[in-house]
Structure 1
Amino acid sequence: MANFTIADIKALREQLGTGMVDTKKALEEADGDVEKAVEILRLKGAKGNAKRADRSTSEGLIAARELDGKVTLIELACETDFVAKNERFTALAEKVLDAASAVSADSVEAALAAPAGGSTVEQVISDDAAIIGEKVELRRVRTLSGDSFEIYLHKTNKDLPPQVGVVLAYTGEDAETARAIAQHISFANPSFLSRDEVPEADVEKEREIVTEISRNEGKPEAALPKIVEGRVNAFFKQVSLLDQDYARDNKLSVAKVAADAGLTLTGFARFKVGA
């Protein structure tokens, strides 16, 4: 009879984030020796990493770190919410964030190549994924420079780690308004800081679409330019942060709120798990 209990299975599963069946089998094979069971699970997991390569990773967490006048934001993804809230997974995220912020990584490739504990981030993720028993991937990385930052991490579920993360870079002294704007970004999901950053090809495509829509609606040809321009401006209010209506007062634009607070917004990044 195997020398372990249901409580041992539960404790090891919570420690590693492994599945119930795999954990029980490993303890059986190790005759209750926890250290040996961990090694068994690690070896088994390493073989399974390749098999899991095509699985989807719709869960995970967002984390951020400020270091030397820069902030690095990451999305670390996994398959299930059980793993997302597991201590081993959250500890892995901290290791990845430490390494990525140390080299100011601004891409997944740069972060994966970063040194981490005598190895690389890529290898550390692979090793932990082998133990966890799920596909784990570093999906996104962004590093911002700036004078001041507001970091806003939002939990959509109290039992899970942050699922939405925003970093706002700015100049000025009003940290309270900067935080409110960061919260606005988490809700409104702009794609660009200003309309000047929107690619011209995107603007022209939108102009073509709204022109066609307006014609199909039977709008007078003479009125089309004004109607189209209004709809293109509405497009800018969707994608450009400074053009957006402020979430706390839709009579004001974000640009107006920032200006009134003496803030100059210089950049932002927003990640949402699985989006």
Structure 2
Amino acid sequence: MAITAAQVKELREMTGAGMMDAKKALVENDGDMDAAIDWLRTKGLAKAAKKSGRTAAEGLVGVAVEGNTGIAVEVNSETDFVAKNAEFQGMVAKIANAALKVDDIDALNAADIDGKSVADTMTDAIAKIGENMGVRRVEKITGETVVTYIHNAVTDGMGKIGVLVALKGGDEAFGKQVAMHIAAANPAALNEAELDSGVVEKERQIQIDIARESGKPEEVIEKMIVGRMKKFMGEVTLLGQAFVINPDLTVESAAKEAGAEITGFIRMEVGEGIEKEEEDFAAEVAKAAQG
């Protein structure tokens, strides 16, 4: 019998199986949904859906550059053990290369690697490895030169923190130094103009409240705030920060000395912003014992 796209979609949603596996299961079982589910379970391909609710805060950041374009992509797993697996690393490398040809996460999930979409590849990996996984985000940058750096690298082009720096002028060696600085200092933005206005206003209000606690007159407080906000900008913007290679210089000054202009950067760290579930060891063992 003819298998419809709607049937395949329904089976995928019920089991978490890949598209081709779901279609094959329906073909093998003449469109019988229950039989198709059992078929997938016997093949070990219906595990993914059960794991989709589990927190995946480990994994790897992969970076790739092609011409004047660079990307960083975060692929998550539940445990660091999986991130050290060569098969997982190979998958991240393919996803990173696919990301060079797309503009957002939806397009990346639909992109083809080895004849399957990235989304289906992830579903198959979940079923095979037995952990929840996912492509969490992708960011792209362009520049005259794009330099990459991986902190805590597990293999070429991937690790726990990935940094890309876009430069105009200068050389790759200086770009690498800036990338290492970004990994360590974690600036919030390139400069004041690119800093979130909400962040700036919140800090300004905090400093005003602190200054008012001193009981000084408003005109004195205004002058205090100017100085404190300048200090804040020097702490959170890349160009204003003291350069880790030479703290006597700001990053902006170091760039000028190197004949370079830093036009942008990406810093991506595995798991940042994900709230991890905390379990004590006894609870973890009890959970495992229950199957």
Q: Which range, TM-score by smaller chain?
A: 0.7 to 0.9
Kept in 2: contact 1:152–1:182 (CA 8 A): yes
Counterpart amino acid of residue 134 in structure 1: E
Residues 157 and 96 from structure 1, CA distance in 2 versus in 1: closer, same or farther, beyond 3 angstroms?
A: closer
- Report the alpha carbon displacement of residue 200 of structure 1 after superposing the two structures with TM: 2.7
Q: Paired residue for 1:221?
A: 218
In structure 2, how many angstroms separate the alpha carbons of the residues matched to 1:68 and 1:147? 9
Counterpart amino acid of residue 213 in structure 1: I
**Secondary structure of the corresponding residue to residue 51 of structure 2:** coil
**Secondary structure of the corresponding residue to residue 237 of structure 1:** helix
1:74 aligns with 2:106: no
Residues 156 and 146 from structure 1, CA distance in 2 versus in 1: closer, same or farther, beyond 3 angstroms?
A: closer
In structure 2, how many angstroms separate the alpha carbons of the residues matched to 1:157 and 1:226? 49
Q: Paired residue for 1:8?
A: none
Runs of 4+ with >3 A deviation: 39-43, 217-220
Q: Paired residue for 1:31?
A: none
In structure 1, how many angstroms separate the alpha carbons of the residues matched to 2:41 and 2:263? 47
Q: Paired residue for 1:4?
A: none
Alignment of 1:126-165 (within 5 A): 126-155=123-152, 162-165=159-162
* Unaligned ranges ≥5, structure 2: 1-38, 273-291
Counterpart amino acid of residue 75 in structure 2: L
1:48 aligns with 2:47: yes
1:61 aligns with 2:60: yes
Kept in 1: contact 2:95–2:118 (CA 8 A): yes
Q: Paired residue for 1:28?
A: none
In structure 2, how many angstroms separate the alpha carbons of the residues matched to 1:245 and 1:42? 59
Residues 68 and 177 from structure 1, CA distance in 2 versus in 1: closer, same or farther, beyond 3 angstroms?
A: closer
The partner residue of 1:231 within 228, 232, 255 is 228
TM-score, length basis structure 1: 0.78
In structure 2, how many angstroms separate the alpha carbons of the residues matched to 1:271 and 1:215? 38
1:261 aligns with 2:233: no
Q: Paired residue for 1:111?
A: 108
Kept in 2: contact 1:92–1:128 (CA 8 A): no
- Report the alpha carbon displacement of residue 41 of structure 1 after superposing the two structures with TM: 8.7
**Secondary structure of the corresponding residue to residue 47 of structure 1:** coil
Kept in 2: contact 1:42–1:131 (CA 8 A): no
In structure 2, how many angstroms separate the alpha carbons of the residues matched to 1:120 and 1:94? 15
Alignment of 1:90-105 (within 5 A): 90-101=89-100, 103=101, 105=102
Counterpart amino acid of residue 219 in structure 2: A
| Percent identity of equivalent pairs | 34
1:209 aligns with 2:206: yes
In structure 2, how many angstroms separate the alpha carbons of the residues matched to 1:218 and 1:154? 46
Kept in 2: contact 1:42–1:130 (CA 8 A): no
Kept in 2: contact 1:42–1:127 (CA 8 A): no
Residues 97 and 157 from structure 1, CA distance in 2 versus in 1: closer, same or farther, beyond 3 angstroms?
A: closer
The partner residue of 1:168 within 159, 165, 168 is 165
In structure 1, how many angstroms separate the alpha carbons of the residues matched to 2:68 and 2:247? 33
Counterpart amino acid of residue 81 in structure 2: F
Counterpart amino acid of residue 93 in structure 1: V
Across the two proteins, how many residue pairs are aligned to each other?
232
RMSD of aligned C-alpha atoms?
2.2
The partner residue of 1:123 within 120, 123, 132 is 120
Residues 71 and 42 from structure 1, CA distance in 2 versus in 1: closer, same or farther, beyond 3 angstroms?
A: farther
Q: Deviations over 1:141-196 (max 9, x none)?
A: 111111111100111789xx611110001011332221111100000001211111
Kept in 1: contact 2:40–2:46 (CA 8 A): no
Counterpart amino acid of residue 89 in structure 2: T
Q: Paired residue for 1:22?
A: none
Residues 65 and 156 from structure 1, CA distance in 2 versus in 1: closer, same or farther, beyond 3 angstroms?
A: closer
- Report the alpha carbon displacement of residue 69 of structure 1 after superposing the two structures with TM: 2.3
TM-score, length basis structure 2: 0.74
In structure 1, how many angstroms separate the alpha carbons of the residues matched to 2:46 and 2:223? 62
Q: Deviations over 1:9-36 (max 9, x none)?
A: xxxxxxxxxxxxxxxxxxxxxxxxxxxx
